[in-house]
Structure formats: structure tokens, C-alpha cells
Amino acid sequence: MTNQKSTNENQTQENAWQIGTRTLPPPAGASDAMCTSIAETPQPDPAFMQIEPQSEAEWLAVIAQFDAGKVDAVQALSEQLSVSYEQKQIEGINIYHLTPAEVDPRHEDHLFVYVHGGAFVLNGGEAGLAEPILIAHRAKMRVLSIDYRMPPKYPTPAGRDDVVTVYQHLLKEQAAKSMALGGTSGGGNLVMATVQRLIELGLDVPGALYLGTPGTDMSKTGDSWYTNDGIDRLLATYDGFLEAASRLYAGGRDLKDPLVSPHYGKVEGFPPTFLVTGTRDMLLSNTARTHIKLRQAGVVADILVYDGTSHGDYIVVMDSPESYHAFAELNAFLLRYLE
């Protein structure tokens, strides 16, 4: 809900339950494709995420390790789905124009402005283009993906400022309500922070938002950080890498500062927002809480929760019914709200 007061903070340390061991079969409520993928995945190992780089050099090495192979995968996906992309600059910020083989006439005047995820440090450059390729292909619309500045060199609000700068530039030739702004995970965080900034600046907000399993609260507040610890096959755990990356992004700010966790900022005046998560998602609580907060502020907001899926599984298992359904729903939402 809207207020996190000291009562809750204190209770976090007391009254905790010790949850015993349990056996978790692959999710039979998911589609065959999703269930099979999960059944074939090694069990998430929280120890694997106990990475806390101590210097800029160590961070860059870890980032390179996580991002290895992604550009090749992106190029292959681009060919497979016939989505071409081109690198450009807007006011000194690196961006990519993505063009599908065919543009839906209903999207002729629309633009999807995409903000990639990756815990605020990963997926820079071409490595961040997998989901925007999927969106361009499935929604048959043009996408502009922003390669915003990231830590270790640039903590918040550098990335947000880049998104604002590009958006403001686009406004010169593209009506606000004809643009969608969206992204997954850390990208969802930046989308929310960007819209808060646009409202502060008195600028027109986009026609619709997409928050895919958004990292809108990087403090360890949402319940699913605990309940899905060791269960989310992508994130595995908050402790270690995710917390370290969040603190690096925060650059000394409190993790509940809206520039780090925009869930704590204002959402009045937000455009219609589409959210996606899963029952095994460590960001299930983030997504659900932000959805409720938007609804409480009178914002049109739709959430989809896919059974048995972890953080971003709708991208990971892109040939699953869940993935097709999520992007079809996103597209229907855009067609409904973009002008």
C-alpha cells in the first residue's frame, strides 16, 4: 500500500517465521514449453549470486562476464525475426532504431521507446536489444531503445536523465500520446522515474507505459524477496549481486530514495500502465505493489501474473505461450491507449 511506516520497519526484525524445507516440482500450471524449460534448468543457487565487486575494475569484469555472448544472441534474434536495427545518437546519447519487417498500419504513427533492464549495470549497447526486437516483431511497431549511462561510472539519476533527454528530443517530432515508454526489470524502474521527472518538468507524458517485472523498489521490502528466495531461477536471491548493484546505482542515496526506488515517488498523472510478473518472480511484490499504488492514484493499470514463472521468463522462454500472450496483451494495450 502507499505508506511504509516505522511500524513495518521494526517488525522486519522481529516476528520472523522460519520456513522449513520443501519440495518444489516444476510448475504444472504453466504451459508445457515453460514447464519443460524450468524442469531442465538447474536449481537456482543463491551462492552463485554472492558477488559483491569492490572496485570499478571488478565491476567492469563482472559486467563483462554477465553480458558475454549477449550481442551474438541479439544479432541472431535480429536475423531470425527480421528486425533490423541501427545505432544513432540523440544529443550525445547512444540509441538504437529497431524496424520490423512489417509495420502494423495501426502503429504507423506510433513509437515504442524502450529502456533496457539489467540491474542498472548490465545490457549496455547491443546486449540490451533482445526484448525490443521481440516487441518490434510481435507488435509490428518501430522501437527506439535507449542505451543510457550506467554505473559504475554513472549512478542515478544519470540514466533517467538520458531517457528524459531523448524523450524530450523526440517530442519535437512525435506526439507524446503516440509514444509508449517501457522496459523490463531495471528498465521498468527507469521508466517510472522518467515519468515522475516528466511530470515534475510539466512535460506531456507518453500515451502508455510498460513495466515488465519492474525493479521499482530496490530496498528489501517486498515480500517476494523473501518468499521467492532460491525459487526465482533468474535472480535467485537479493543478497549479494542485486543489492550491490542497487547500492552502486544509488551512489550513496538511500535505497528508498525515489531516484533509486521510484515506487516511493508520486504516481498521480501517470498514463495507462501495463505490468507483467510471475508467481516465482522475486519482483512479484514490486510489480503487485506498484500496480496497486497506480490504481490507488486513479491510474489505469493492468497486471498479468503467469504461474510458475520467474523474473523475465516471458523473454527467456520466448517461444512459450506465456511469452506470446504477454506481448499480445501488451500490444492490445498499446493499440487501445496510444493515439
Q: Which residues bind its own copies (CB under 8 A)?
A: 1-5, 7-9, 11-32, 34-36, 39-40, 43, 217, 221-224, 226-231, 279-280, 284-285, 288-289, 291-292, 295-296, 302-308, 321-322, 325, 329
Around Cβ 214, how many Cβ atoms within 10 Å?
Answer: 31
Nearer to its own copies, 20 or 92 (CB): 20
Nearer to its own copies, 57 or 328 (CB): 328
Three-class SS state of 315 = helix
| Phi, psi for residue 85 in degrees, rounded to 5 | -140, 155
Radius of gyration in angstroms for the set of CA atoms belonging to the chain, rounded to a whole number: 19
CB of residue 226 vs its own copies: minimum separation in angstroms? 5
Nearer to its own copies, 26 or 251 (CB): 26
Interatomic CA distance for residues 58 and 327, integer angstroms = 36
CA distances (Å), 323 to each of 31, 34, 310, 317, 338, in order? Answer: 10, 9, 12, 7, 22
CB of residue 335 vs its own copies: minimum separation in angstroms? 15
CB of residue 308 vs its own copies: minimum separation in angstroms? 4
Cβ neighbors of 121 (< 8 A, separation 6 or more) are 59, 63, 150, 151, 152, 245, 248, 249
Cβ neighbors of 60 (< 8 A, separation 6 or more) are 152
CB of residue 285 vs its own copies: minimum separation in angstroms? 5
Interatomic CA distance for residues 311 and 224, integer angstroms = 11
Nearer to its own copies, 123 or 320 (CB): 320
Interatomic CA distance for residues 30 and 37, integer angstroms = 10
CB of residue 299 vs its own copies: minimum separation in angstroms? 13
Nearer to its own copies, 32 or 254 (CB): 32
Is the N-terminal amide bond of 155 cis, ω within 30° of 0? Answer: no
CB of residue 150 vs its own copies: minimum separation in angstroms? 27
Nearer to its own copies, 269 or 298 (CB): 298
CB of residue 254 vs its own copies: minimum separation in angstroms? 15
Nearer to its own copies, 125 or 321 (CB): 321
Three-class SS state of 180 = strand
